[in-house]
């Protein structure tokens, strides 16, 4: 049985809260907007409606079997122009910034750039789960380093099997602070970290299910193999190897990634990632929350199972509660540092539209090794 839900942690967006509807279209966003009982009941009703018709099992199996192809197609279409670089990371997750302090901001959260978050995971380009090309995000990454070669899973398995992890013979083995980003996409998290954090002991690993996504990272002009290692990886496959040994990572980053995995495989994935952490290492997670606008916009026939949907492009998404994420992470042996819900009102002043977004942010730590 899940533990009783704690009162959600709150934070102000500046000093403004939504109090006067007449002022709606004067500002871009409000943090931690309280939902009325009617609003939550309406959201629940929409979810019941759009999940009343599930896709047939054979169709669901097709989306699982071909998941890699759908994500490859996504990145071939959007390349690196779909998301903006996540420079807000260092505010939300100071563990990634220079002069890191592992105990800093354990329970406090700072203001997040609504513009960047909106462009990262917003719905301006996605209606009812169907993503269109739309306009490219600003400041696209410059893909001019064409000589880098892709590291396929098959080649990676061969190369990693030759590494002697026990002797420290692996990429980044001489580094003092190691970060792994899972689901790196085109590098919108990796490159801000490499650009901002000049710690000489830093080494960043990044992986993605999509070969196309990893190719984008490796061919980026900012890719530095002395500080970063990008590789293709299937989290759900035990035979898909990691290039580093267990208990070698200080941080694992999961940003809008766990939600793309089949729900019954999530625990296995979190367990695998937990084993990679050093004692005291942390998982930093941000993902979609229950009743987010993206969930409410799905139509009948797009639901795979409870709170799990397929988008028009074949990629899938799950919408979490705080309790669900807490159970996944603690079952993997991690301790809660932070688990908060971020309910945000975003306003498109041009279209006179209001959008209620719901995200969940977590920090969970591997217990420190017991003293002898």
Domains of the chain: residue spans and CATH? 36-93+171-366 (3.40.50.150)
pLDDT digits (tens, 9 = 90+) for 37-96: 888 898 899 999 999 988 888 787 777 776 767 667 766 666 555 455 566 788 889 888
Q: How far is CA 329 from CA 200, 268, 325, 338, in A?
A: 31, 11, 6, 11
To 5 degrees, how large is the angle CA 205–CA 208–CA 213? 105
How many CB atoms within 10 Å of residue 198? Answer: 9
Residue the block writes with tokens 């949907």 = 309
Instruction: Note the pTM of the prediction, 2 decimals.
Output: 0.75
| Nearest one of 358, 292, 287 to 328, comparing CA atoms | 287
pLDDT digits (tens, 9 = 90+) for 344-356: 887 766 666 677 8
**d(C-alpha 349, C-alpha 338), whole Å:** 33
To 5 degrees, how large is the angle CA 305–CA 311–CA 316? 55
Least confident of 85-89, 130-134, 286-290, 324-328: 130-134
pLDDT digits (tens, 9 = 90+) for 191-205: 999 998 989 999 999
Tokens for 141?
A: 């990454």
First CA to last CA distance, the chain? 34
Residue the block writes with tokens 């409410």 = 296
| 81 within 8 A of 136, measured Cβ to Cβ | yes
Q: In three state form, how does the secondary structure of the chain look?
A: CCCCCCCCCCCCECCECCCCHHHHHHCCEEECCCCCHHHHHHHHHHHHHHCCCECCHHHHHHHHHCHHHHHHHHHHHHCCCCCCCCCCHHHHCHHHCCCCCCCCCCCCCCCCCHHHHHHHHCCCCEECCEECCCCCCCCCCCCCCCCCCCCCHHHHHHHHHCCCHHHCCCCCCCCCEEEEEECCCCCCCHHHHHHHCCCCCEEEEEEECCHHHHHHHHCCCCCCCCCEEEEECCCCCCCCCCCCCCCCEEEEEEECCHHHCCHHHHHHHHHHHHHHEEEEEEEEEEEEECCCHHHHCCCCCCEEECCEEECCCCCEEECECHHHHHHHHHHCCCEEEEEEEEEEEEEECCCCEEEEEEEEEEEEECCCCCCC
Cβ partners under 8 Å of residue 351, min gap 6? none
Indicate left, alpha or beta for 178 from its phi (over 0: left) and psi (-120 to 50: alpha).
Answer: beta
The answer, yes or no, to whether residue 11 has pLDDT greater than 60, is: no
Give the up-direction half-sphere exposure of residue 10: CA atoms within 13 A in the CB hemisphere. 8
Q: How far is CA 140 from CA 73, 81, 267, 269, in A?
A: 19, 6, 35, 31
pLDDT digits (tens, 9 = 90+) for 285-318: 999 999 999 999 999 989 999 999 988 888 889 9
Tokens for 51?
A: 């999940």
pLDDT band at 141 (very low <50, low <70, confident <90, very high): very low
- Regarding predicted confidence, which is higher, 187 or 139? 187
The answer, yes or no, to whether residue 173 has pLDDT greater than 50, is: yes
The answer, yes or no, to whether residue 341 has pLDDT greater than 70, is: yes
**d(C-alpha 55, C-alpha 58), whole Å:** 8
Residue the block writes with tokens 């942010």 = 361
């Amino acid at each position: 049985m899940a533990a009783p839900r704690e009162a959600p942690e709150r934070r102000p967006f500046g000093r403004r809260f939504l109090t006067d509807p007449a002022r709606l279209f004067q500002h871009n966003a409000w943090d931690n907007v309280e939902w009325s009982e009617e609003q939550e009941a309406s959201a629940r009703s929409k979810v019941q409606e759009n999940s009343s018709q599930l896709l047939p099992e054979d169709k669901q199996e097709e989306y699982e079997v071909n998941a890699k192809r759908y994500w490859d197609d996504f990145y071939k279409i959007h390349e690196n122009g779909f998301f903006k670089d996540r420079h807000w990371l260092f505010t939300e997750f100071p563990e990634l910034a220079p002069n890191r302090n592992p105990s800093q901001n354990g329970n406090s959260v700072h203001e997040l750039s609504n513009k960047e978050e909106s462009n990262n995971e917003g719905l301006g380009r996605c209606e009812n789960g169907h993503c269109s090309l739309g306009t490219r995000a600003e400041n696209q990454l410059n893909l001019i380093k064409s000589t880098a070669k892709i590291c396929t899973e098959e080649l990676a398995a061969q190369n990693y099997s030759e590494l002697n992890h026990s002797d420290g013979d692996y990429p980044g083995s001489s580094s003092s602070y190691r970060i792994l980003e899972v689901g790196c996409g085109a590098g919108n998290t990796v490159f801000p970290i490499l650009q901002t954090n000049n710690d000489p002991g830093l080494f960043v690993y990044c992986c993605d299910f999509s070969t196309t996504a990893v190719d984008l990272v490796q061919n980026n002009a900012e890719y530095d193999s002395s500080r970063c290692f990008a590789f293709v990886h299937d989290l759900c496959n035990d035979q898909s190897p990691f290039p580093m040994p267990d208990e070698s990572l200080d941080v694992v980053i999961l940003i809008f990634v766990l939600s793309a995995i089949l729900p019954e495989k999530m625990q296995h994935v979190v367990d695998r990632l937990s084993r990679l952490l050093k004692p005291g290492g942390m998982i930093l997670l941000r993902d979609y929350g229950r009743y987010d606008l993206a969930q409410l916009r799905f139509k009948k026939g797009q639901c795979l199972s409870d709170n799990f949907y397929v988008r028009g492009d074949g990629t899938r998404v799950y919408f979490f509660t705080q309790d669900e994420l807490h159970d996944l992470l603690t079952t993997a042996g991690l301790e809660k540092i932070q688990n908060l819900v971020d309910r945000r009102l975003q306003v498109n002043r041009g279209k006179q539209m209001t959008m209620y977004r719901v995200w969940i942010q977590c920090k969970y730590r591997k217990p420190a090794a017991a003293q002898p």
